[in-house]
Amino acid sequence: MTAFGVRLPVLALGLLATACSDDTTTSPGTTKTAETTTSSSPWFQDVATESGIDFTWQSSAAGDYNLPEIIGGGVALLDYDQDGDLDVYLVQGGDLISTRATPPSNTAFNRLYRNDGNMSFIDVTEATGAGDPGYGMGVATGDYDNDGDVDLYITNVGRNTLLRNDGDRFSDVTDTAGVGDRGWGTAAMFVDYDRDGDLDLYASNYLVWSPETEITCQAAQGGEDYCAPGNYPVAAPDRLYRNRGDGTFEDASETAGITTASRTGLGIAAGDYDGDGQVDLFVANDGMPDLMWRNQGDGRFVDVGLTMGCAIDNDGKEKAGMGVGSTDLDDDGDLDLIVCNLVGESDSIFRNEGTYFIDTTARTGVKAATSAYTRFGLGWLDFDNDGWLDLYEATGRVQRSPESGDADPYAEEDVLMRGDSSGRFTLVSPMGGTTSRTARTSRAAAFGDLDNDGRLDVVVVNRDAAANVYRNISAAPGHWVLIRALDDNGRDALGGMLSARVGQRRLTRPIQTAYSYFAANDPRVHLGLGTASTLEDVSIRWPDGVTEHFGSLPVDRIHTLQRGNGQPNP
């Protein structure tokens, strides 16, 4: 018997949907490859051991199949000490039942690793006070108090935590700030939705859940396993906090209209998706329609996901939305979307047509290649600096398959796809582009240039296995730039948009940290330029809508562009 009186059949995390009509379907656990595979030398090498990062996300699973055990955990890349390189913050799980009151050991705390250059990291958790004992899910980064230091917001099963960066230490200011939601927190992001110059906070929730109301389900091959969210009675409403500018937040969830739709949020992104000058919010939901919160400009939001064509896929199916990517794939100046999903469901690529989206997944080659895996963290970025976006996806099942091994029945190999000038993607061999092929149950993936060499690296969090620190070792002969855009407070201009001309192309990239799954990423905008030796006509549209021009920039360098140092629109 379960808490609801009956033992329910397992459905897997999210809806077990068949693949769309123009794909070849596979059963969970089988392996299917795309028709075209790009064979190449490895793109990434795992340097976790030599880098000094020794971290395992502890699910503390003990056979009770508590659903949070299969969902977490998170990772952030941030320059907390303002020394010019990215540090790594890893969100821990621990004992789901007792962690809230008494952490069983120091290993159950989140960990902060300081980058001392050239991929060498030092654990500074105790020295900085950055540890949090909650059963952690995800993390968001942003300078909410405009003091020039990057702060941390951690989502937990239970009370979320806001850690204010005071320069050399972090302080828990959750209660003072008023952002300690006690639900099941998942994805979160800092965003200035009201354009008043300080960062507000959006925090997604998953289900109304407690250990006392947990249920278990039967796996297809027998035995107990984790249940799908559809087996639980109540999805949880998200929270929207408006920054008052004095270190405190107002819970604006109800007045803004966010509580009108309670969904199972897992992935999140922000941008001006309809071109009206207001930042909108996109939330990927597990087994429910995704949300596109259109910003009305008066503090209120309305969900237009269905009418804009990005709530369900081209076949009218709700998918198990996990990780999210948001950037301009087709160089038309607006933001497109990608959402990754469950095994048997392909990713969804939504091309932005200005006032609506078109599902173009099949024509990109992504549809056939991805449906054999359960994908979580994703990076829609140019990893080989050839000028075209690639796709990295961290994978791991949420239910056992008949072919599952005994060591980790949920483990899979990650996926890497190379993009080209036609907008198509092909699988890279070796699998995942890594020097060693190891299947793990991967969740969060964060992306950024950890060694400042112009090639994007990856940090992947794994369930009950060591985190991967993937150094980009691709040949990457192309040119590149990294651009950090700072507003007049000296903080990353999250929600802004960078545009630049490369030959006949105009590239548009959002200034963002919130994408992927339970992750916060490098705030710097990375542009792979291929053979182009100049970057011209660089401009930034700041979050309040004002645009500045910065002319041409030298390539193969890291640039910092400060608001007020450019030229205004003529």
Q: Which tens digit of pLDDT belongs to each residue from 494-526? A: 999 999 999 999 999 999 999 999 999 999 999
213, 3 Cβ separation under 8 angstroms: yes
pLDDT of residue 313: 83
> Taking 70 as the threshold, does the pLDDT of residue 14 lie above it?
no
Confidence check: pLDDT of 356 > 90: yes
List, as one string, the DSSP characters of 210-250: -GGG---EE-TTSSEEPPPGGGSS-B---EEEEE-SSS-EE
Q: Is it the case that residue 368 has pLDDT exceeding 50?
A: yes
Q: How far apart are CA 27 and CA 22, in angstroms?
A: 16
pLDDT at residue 479, rounded to an integer: 96
What confidence tier does 345 reach under pLDDT thresholds 50, 70, 90?
A: confident
Q: Which of the listed ranges 21-30, 164-173, 406-415 does the model predict with the highest average pLDDT?
A: 164-173
**Res 207 pLDDT > 60:** yes
Three-state DSSP class for residue 562: strand
Tokens of 541: 């549209």
DSSP string over 321-387: ---EEEE-SSSSSS-EEEE---TTS--EEEEE-SSSEEE-HHHHTHHHHHTTS-EEEEEEE-SS-SS
Written as six digits, the tokens of 178 are: 């008023």
pLDDT tens figures, 451-493: 999 999 999 999 999 999 999 999 878 999 999 999 999 999 9
Q: Ranked by mean pLDDT, which of 241-245, 365-369, 486-490 comes out on top?
A: 241-245
Has residue 106 got a pLDDT over 80? no
- For 259, other C-beta atoms within 10 Å of its C-beta total 13
DSSP 8-state symbol, 167: S
Is the per-residue pLDDT at 410 higher than 70?
yes
Confidence of residue 369 (pLDDT cuts 50, 70, 90): confident
| pLDDT at residue 132, rounded to an integer | 94
CA–CA–CA angle 357, 361, 365 (5° rounding): 150
Mean of all residue pLDDT scores within the chain: 89
Rounded distance, CA 255 to CA 278, Å? 18
The two three-digit tokens of residue 202, written as one number: 């959006």
Q: Quick one: pLDDT band at residue 321, thresholds 50, 70, 90?
A: confident
Confidence of residue 101 (pLDDT cuts 50, 70, 90): very low
Residue 40: its pLDDT value, please? 77
Provide the pLDDT confidence category of residue 344 given band limits of 50, 70 and 90: confident
Q: Report pLDDT for 22.
A: 34
Kindly calculate the radius of gyration of the chain based on its CA atoms and give it in whole angstroms.
Answer: 22
Listing from the earlier edge strand, what are the strands of the sheet with 525-530? 525-530, 479-486, 557-562
Which residues 6+ apart lie within 8 Å of 225 measured at CB?
Answer: 10, 65, 216, 217, 218, 219, 399, 400
Q: What letter would DSSP give residue 193?
A: T
Take residue 74 and report the two structure tokens written for it: 């998170």
Question: Is 103 a residue whose pLDDT tops 60?
Answer: no
User: pTM score > 0.75 for this model?
Assistant: yes
Task: State residue 218's pLDDT score.
Answer: 87
Lowest mean pLDDT among 105-109, 113-117, 222-226: 105-109
Most confident among 364-373, 396-405, 507-516 (mean pLDDT): 507-516
- pLDDT of residue 38 exceeding 60, the answer is yes
